[in-house]
Structure 1
Amino acid sequence: MHAKLFAIIAACLFGATTPFSKLLLSQIHPLVLVGLFGLGSGAVMLIIRLLQVGLFHPERIKVELSKYYWLWLFGAMLTGGILAPVVLVYSLPRTSAATASILLNFESVSTTLFAAYLFKEKIGPRIWLAIILITVASILLSVDWSSSWGISLSALGVLLSTVFWGLDNNFTRNISMKDPYSIVIVRGLVSGSSVLCFSIILGMPFPSSIYLVAAIMWGGLVYGIGLVLFILAIRDLGASRASALLGTAPFLGALFSFFVFWELPAMQFVIALPFMVAGAYILLKEKHIAL
């Protein structure tokens, strides 16, 4: 029960990220925002961990990972800590927050497919039906009749970010039995500082202090606390099952977007939503088969 609760709380946090990120992008360069989110997640979790073990005993914080686990952590940092958020924040300005939120539900599909073909989790007929429904909805949301290509490149960018997060979820599953705080601290500090250093080299402008602090604190809340809760959920539920619960995040994001931006949903959104809801519901009800 705790694992499901952790996944649902994480879903609420991640669901609010799309509209909040869209607001911050009006004041912060996309690459800088990704770096601040990552740095915030690592820094905030480090502070929480220090408070847990005692400020005068920092030596108790250990990252005990073998070479094998470091490879999985590096993969998670690269795909989920750098590639996915960078692609997403560059796609958000040209995509409505509600549409982007719903498209992010494709993460459950990519996670399930990677879990099945790379890590041999079993997929039943109901899961395949869910994958088809969510894929149809994603295609509908990606069509852009005003484009000469017939597709929305920004929507495809959002979908690409979910592919990277699908890999990230499966990489994280392989180290989920380790200390989640250590995983998030290392992942956040390394990926965040790397992106920020790259931003400085490219001469990207940094925001005013109020937006800088807001981005760091949001990163700590969502990509710090939220990610720790998600890792704890993966331990008991597996990557595909935990991601199915996290699949409620896009619908929460669409709801938040409506209240934040007062965006009226486009006809494509209305048509695609039932397919996405049905697919997410099937994934949510499917029982996880342990390896």
Structure 2
Amino acid sequence: MMRAGIAFALVSAVLFGASAPLAKLLLGRVDPWLLAGLLYLGSGVGLAALRPLLPRQGGRLARADWPWLAAAVAAGGVVGPVLMMLGLAHASASSASLVLNLEGVFTLGLAWVVFRENVDRRLLVGAGAILAGAALLSWQDGSGGGGWGLWAITGACLAWAIDNNLTRKVSAGDPVEIAMIKGLAAGAVNTALALAIGQDLPAWPLIGAAAILGLGAYGLSLVLFVLALRHLGTARTGAYFSTAPFVGAALAVVVLGEAPTPLLAAAGLLMALGLYLHLTESHAHDHVHEALEHDHSHRHDDHHQHGHAGQDPAVPHSHAHQHQRLVHRHPHYPDIHHRHTH
């Protein structure tokens, strides 16, 4: 499941990393605030349409989960996208890429300092290598500029980092449901506000393009991000997600035929080093699982020994279940069963 979490985080980064240049293309014809709303609204509507076709991957949200989700929607769904679109409209692509790297730094810092998630020296060095590669990548074209737009993008990074840490609190829930709620709520709020201040809806082809982009870059990417949070915790998921700028540059080389540069190669090596340090991390010690009742998608393993009538224990299933107090030792990440202190 740890390997699955890594795969979820990296594919989420691919989807998000490919989105920035496409959003930049739409900004010339759609107001930034309105585009932020349309992207998230497209995400929510698209996931609502796909939801009946997708298997449920988590438990139902409990009453205690809703304040965390509401705060995550406000920070990452309402505030973050507006600041990002406003910043992109007033900053060069390279400068924006540089500042976007702060999301990983903020996410890891909040997880470590505020939410007390375990972060060891190997993880810090690996995350530093990934972020250094992303920063190096953003200096490729040597262009600058941006003024207050860069401060807006910095604010967006902080909003998304808060969102990432808050979403971890509800990551046992169904990720499609979480992303759908976030998309519909945040998209409706920002679209309504943009229309209220006098913005006009663009032509339907542009609305459709924004909706499709939002479904992939914010909807499906968020679904995978939540699954990664469930298995890896916030700090590690944020570090893997920091590969998104390199993904965008690599796609430009492959798809658009842009010539690779020495800086791109150096950034790739730094990110490869960071990923290697993360992939080879081994965190094991005697730890205590206190008695717990919760609801999430699971198979029967060392942490799930309850019985079922007519249920294949090897098939993923979701229901409310109890964990008895358990003391054992094995390699683990700070997933939903390993959020103990160190």
Give the TM-score normalised by structure 2: 0.70
Secondary structure, in 3 states, of the residue corresponding to 1:67? coil
1:80 is the counterpart of 2:82: no
Per the TM alignment, residue 276 of structure 1 is displaced from its structure 2 partner at its CA by 9.9
Aligned residue in 2 for 1:3: 5
Q: Which structure has the larger Rg over C-alpha atoms?
A: 2
Higher strand share: 2
Amino acid at match of 2:11: I
Cα distance between partner residues in 2 of 1:15 and 1:227: 13
Cα distance between partner residues in 1 of 2:97 and 2:119: 25
- Whether contact under 8 Å (1:103, 1:250) holds in the other structure is no
Aligned residue in 2 for 1:45: 47
Aligned residue in 1 for 2:288: none
Deviations 1:157-201 (A, max 9, x none): 222211111111111111111111111111110110011110111
Amino acid at match of 2:71: G
- Whether contact under 8 Å (2:123, 2:277) holds in the other structure is no
Cα distance between partner residues in 2 of 1:262 and 1:12: 18
1:240 is the counterpart of 2:242: no
- Whether contact under 8 Å (2:101, 2:134) holds in the other structure is no
Secondary structure, in 3 states, of the residue corresponding to 1:206? coil
- Whether contact under 8 Å (2:175, 2:223) holds in the other structure is yes
Aligned residue in 1 for 2:244: 249
Amino acid at match of 1:11: A
- Whether contact under 8 Å (1:19, 1:260) holds in the other structure is no
**Which 10-residue stretch deviates more, 125-134 or 167-176?**
125-134
Give the TM-score normalised by structure 1: 0.81
**Which 10-residue stretch deviates more, 152-161 or 79-88?**
152-161
- Whether contact under 8 Å (2:100, 2:157) holds in the other structure is yes
Cα distance between partner residues in 1 of 2:49 and 2:269: 38
Label 1:51 to 1:128 Cα distance change in 2 as closer, same or farther (>3 A): closer
Per the TM alignment, residue 207 of structure 1 is displaced from its structure 2 partner at its CA by 1.0
Label 1:276 to 1:260 Cα distance change in 2 as closer, same or farther (>3 A): closer
- Whether contact under 8 Å (2:40, 2:186) holds in the other structure is yes
Larger RCO (CA within 8 A; separation ≥ 6):
1
Label 1:254 to 1:217 Cα distance change in 2 as closer, same or farther (>3 A): same
Label 1:263 to 1:84 Cα distance change in 2 as closer, same or farther (>3 A): farther
Label 1:66 to 1:232 Cα distance change in 2 as closer, same or farther (>3 A): same
Aligned residue in 2 for 1:198: 193
- Whether contact under 8 Å (1:101, 1:253) holds in the other structure is no
CA RMSD of aligned residues (A): 3.5
Per the TM alignment, residue 284 of structure 1 is displaced from its structure 2 partner at its CA by 6.3
Q: Which runs of 5+ in 1 are unaligned?
A: 54-59
> Identical aligned pairs, as a percentage?
32
Aligned residue in 2 for 1:57: none
1:107 is the counterpart of 2:96: no
Cα distance between partner residues in 2 of 1:164 and 1:273: 31
Secondary structure, in 3 states, of the residue corresponding to 2:64? helix
Cα distance between partner residues in 1 of 2:32 and 2:216: 19
From 212, 215, 223, the equivalent of 1:217 is: 212
